[in-house]
A and B are shown apart, each in its own frame.
Chain A
Amino acid sequence: MIEPRMDLGPHLDGNVLAGPLREIFAMDVTAATSRCASCGAVGAVAALHVYANAPGMVARCPTCEEVVLRMVRTPDAAWLDMRGTVSLRIPM
């Protein structure tokens, strides 16, 4: 399969995750450090590339653009997919 060139397109930074994640976690997760499961890059959640013009919020690694975290808010539930995250280091 060929690997196409990618244009980043409209996206925001990870700070926009603060409100939605605050519904789930007791702390501000955007201050945490994540490790990308695809390329191993380590960085602040606040620095992820967030695609929000979508049926959910899709946060991608700024190094490799693979999905690190996804969140979908339905009327009665929040769906959080963190399979693209090896770990979160949360300052306590």
Chain B
Amino acid sequence: MGIVTPGFRGRPRSSGPDLPPGQYLTHDFPVLSAGPTPRVPMDRWEFVITTETSRAHRWTWADMMALPSETPTVDIHCVTKWSKLGTTWQGVSLDTLMSDVDTAADYALVQSYGGYTTNLPLTDLLDGQAWLAYKFDGEDLHPEHGGPARMLIPHLYFWKSAKWVRGIQLRFDNEPGFWETAGYHDYGDPWREQRYQGD
């Protein structure tokens, strides 16, 4: 008889084939927040992409709503180990927002109302991988989940999908964001379990 019985093995590394290593499945939608919830009046909301030459591309809420939207159904993975599968969103693809932006930048620093930031390579925002999302499950995105609009970048840990987003700074250098300066991984691929620096 083995010394370690099944009861002492702890949580399995992954609870199913659709889950990245170390994640568990949740059916609710946990709210994580590093600070107060900003309330941005819709008539003053704007989204600004600023290039490495300081050229600013601005969209008001009405501008954004006039753009073609997509309804991606994606799995999301939080670095605190919960995953939620098959979530349905509505938003504008970053490919659409970037279509008229002339840039040679390699990196993006996403900035939020309230001061949050997160960084990633610009290529991770393109080719159908990222959205500016304003609806979840058919409803307007609730402020606690990042409304009126948040980033949706589901192939990276969810801290990269900044809530209350207000813009993206395109840069030549890779400026680490809020969690990336405090021990979390610079890239954050859940399938390679890149939670912390050094992973």
Contact = CB atoms under 8 A, between A and B. Distances in A.
A24 to B, nearest CB: 13
B168 to A, nearest CB: 14
Given A7-B143, A55-B34, 5 more contacts: A54-B34, A55-B32, A55-B79, A56-B34, A74-B183
Interface stretch (A26-34, A39-47, A65-73): A65-73
B35 A77 contact: no
Contacts of A1: 166
Given A2-B44, A55-B80, A72 B182 contact: yes
Interface in A8-61: 8-10, 51, 53-56, 58, 60
B143 A77 contact: no
Contacts of B40: 2, 4
Contact of A58 (B35, B159, B166): B35
Contacts of B183: 56, 72, 74, 77, 79
A54 B37 contact: no
Contacts of A77: 183, 196
Interface residues of A, number: 26
A7 B114 CA distance: 11
Given A4-B114, A7-B143, A54-B32, A81 B38 contact: no
Interface of B: 30-41, 44, 79-80, 113-115, 143-144, 159, 164, 166, 179, 181-184, 195-197
Contacts of B44: 2
A66 B33 CA distance: 14
Contacts of A6: 36-39, 114
Contact of B35 (A2, A51, A75, A81): A51
Contact of A56 (B36, B164, B182): B182
Contact of A8 (B36, B184, B195, B196): B36
A51 B34 contact: yes
Interface of A: 1-2, 4-10, 51, 53-56, 58, 60, 65-67, 70, 72, 74-75, 77, 79, 81
Give the one of A4, A54, A58 with max B CB within 10 A.
A4
Contacts of B143: 7
21 contacts: A4-B38, A4-B40, A6-B37, A6-B39, A7-B36, A7-B39, A8-B36, A9-B35, A9-B36, A10-B33, A51-B33, A51-B35, A53-B30, A53-B32, A55-B32, A72-B182, A72-B184, A74-B195, A79-B182, A81-B181, A81-B182
B9 to A, nearest CB: 18
A61 to B, nearest CB: 11
